[in-house]
Amino acid sequence: MTESFDRSADAVRTGDRTSLTMDERTGSLFQPDSLLVAQYFESLRRKTLFEPEKRLMFAILEDAINCFQDNLLAQDVRSSRLFHEAEEWIVEADSDGVFSFESICKVLGFSPRYVRQGLLRWKEKRLIRRRNSEAWEKIMKEPRRRTA
């Protein structure tokens, strides 16, 4: 009996949970984890160091999506150029730059392929809606012929 007690006490001291009984394993779930102050602040420092970069990346992605969506049907040269630059950046698949579409999506936890496909699907739907609207306007403007 004392031998099994010694073995389980050694297991608790060494962190070996495989030789613990079910009650001991369950009880160990509710014991506080030990974390040194230095470990906590190192983790916090790493997180806060990367936050500004992630905010910048998010702002770049947001601006590109806004330029893409707001200027799709643009008539003026400047707005049209903004759309084309945003579209080119979004569809460029093999870029390895830090601020490429692929890189930014991955860092922010988005699937670049999924976001890209969603934006391109949105574009197609918008263009189809525009064509249908123009066709409908054309039909409505045509003089009606009377049939006798």
21-64 pLDDT, tens digit per residue, is 766 666 655 655 565 666 666 665 666 556 888 989 999 999 99
Kindly state the average pLDDT of the residues 120-131.
92
Task: Flag whether 4 is in a domain.
Answer: no
Task: Flag whether 10 is in a domain.
Answer: no
Cα distance between residue 105 and residue 55, in whole Å: 12
| 60-114: pLDDT as tens digits | 999 999 999 999 999 999 999 999 999 999 999 878 889 999 999 999 999 999 9
What is the pLDDT, as a whole number, of residue 26? 62
Cα distance between residue 99 and residue 121, in whole Å: 23
What is the pLDDT, as a whole number, of residue 12? 47
Task: Flag whether 108 is in a domain.
Answer: yes
Q: How many domains does the chain have?
A: 1
Domain of residue 74: give its range: 37-136
Task: Flag whether 143 is in a domain.
Answer: no
